[in-house]
C-alpha cells in the first residue's frame, strides 16, 4: 500500500496530519493535471482545493483496487469535468477571461526549471485535451497505461493508442517551434 493510502487511512482514523501529508504530496501534480482540462492555473488551484475538501468532508471510501494516486486523480478528473459542465451552462465568456493568466507562467517557472521543459509544457497545452492528459499522466506522473486508463475511463489498449498519437502530435508541435525533443 502506498504512502498516500496509509496517510488517508490515518486521516479517516482521526489523525488530521494524514490529510496534510496527502495535500503536500499531491497538490502540485493535481494542479497541473486539472489544468490540462480547464486551461487556467487559477481555476486549477481552486479545483485542487475542492478535491481535498471533498476528501476531508465526505471521506469517500478508498477500496484499494488501484493505487491511491490513481484514485485521487480520478476524483480530480470528475471535479474538473463537473466544473466545465457547470461553467458551460452559465457563461459565454472564455474561462481565461475570468483570471489573470500571469500566475500560470509564475507557477510554470517554479515547477518546471529548465527551458526544454517549459517549451514542452507549452507545446502540450496546444494539444487535444486527451493527448495532453494522457502524456501528463504517463510521463509526468508515471502512471502505467492501466492506471491512466482507469483515470481517463479508457481501456489499456486505448491509452496505448492515445499515447502513440499524442507523442506524434507533440513532436509536430515542437517541430513547428524549431525544437527537437530527442526523448520522444
Which residue, 48, 44, 10, 11, is CA-closest to 26? 48
Q: Look at residue 109 in the predicted model and tell me its pLDDT.
A: 47
Q: Look at residue 181 in the predicted model and tell me its pLDDT.
A: 52
Single residue among 79, 100, 121 that ends a domain in this structure:
100
> Per-residue confidence of the chain (184 residues) as pLDDT tens digits?
467 889 999 999 998 899 999 999 999 999 999 998 888 888 999 999 999 999 999 988 888 888 999 999 999 999 999 888 887 655 555 555 555 545 555 554 454 455 666 677 778 888 889 998 998 899 888 899 999 999 999 999 999 999 999 999 988 888 887 765 555 4
The angle formed by the CA atoms of residues 46, 98 and 151, to the nearest 5 degrees, is 40
Residues 82 and 156 in one domain: no
Residues 53 and 119 in one domain: no
Q: Look at residue 166 in the predicted model and tell me its pLDDT.
A: 92
Q: Is 118 exposed, middle or buried (0-12, 13-18, 19+ CB in 10 A)?
A: middle
Single residue among 100, 121, 146 that ends a domain in this structure:
100
The number of distinct structural domains making up the chain is 2
Q: Look at residue 40 in the predicted model and tell me its pLDDT.
A: 87
**What nine digits make up the cell of 63?**
477500496
Q: Is 53 exposed, middle or buried (0-12, 13-18, 19+ CB in 10 A)?
A: exposed
State the DSSP code for 14: T
The range of the structural domain enclosing residue 69 comes to: 1-100
Residues 57 and 147 in one domain: no
Residues 13 and 37 in one domain: yes
Amino acid at each position: 500500500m502506498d504512502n498516500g493510502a496509509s496517510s488517508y487511512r490515518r486521516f479517516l482514523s482521526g489523525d488530521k496530519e494524514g490529510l496534510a501529508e496527502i495535500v503536500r504530496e499531491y497538490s502540485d501534480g493535481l494542479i497541473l493535471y486539472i489544468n490540462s482540462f480547464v486551461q487556467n492555473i487559477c481555476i486549477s488551484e481552486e479545483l485542487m482545493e475542492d478535491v481535498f475538501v471533498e476528501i476531508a468532508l465526505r471521506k469517500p471510501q478508498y477500496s484499494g483496487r488501484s493505487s491511491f494516486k490513481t484514485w485521487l486523480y480520478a476524483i480530480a478528473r470528475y471535479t474538473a469535468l463537473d466544473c466545465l459542465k457547470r461553467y458551460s451552462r452559465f457563461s459565454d465568456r472564455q474561462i481565461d477571461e475570468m483570471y489573470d493568466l500571469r500566475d500560470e507562467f509564475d507557477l510554470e517557472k517554479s515547477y518546471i526549471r529548465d527551458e526544454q521543459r517549459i517549451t514542452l509544457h507549452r507545446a502540450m497545452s496546444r494539444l487535444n485535451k486527451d493527448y495532453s492528459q494522457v502524456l501528463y499522466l504517463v510521463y509526468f506522473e508515471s502512471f502505467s497505461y492501466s492506471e491512466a486508463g482507469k483515470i481517463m475511463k479508457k481501456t489499456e489498449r486505448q491509452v496505448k493508442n492515445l499515447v502513440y498519437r499524442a507523442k506524434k502530435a507533440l513532436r509536430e508541435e515542437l517541430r513547428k517551434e524549431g525544437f527537437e525533443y530527442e526523448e520522444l
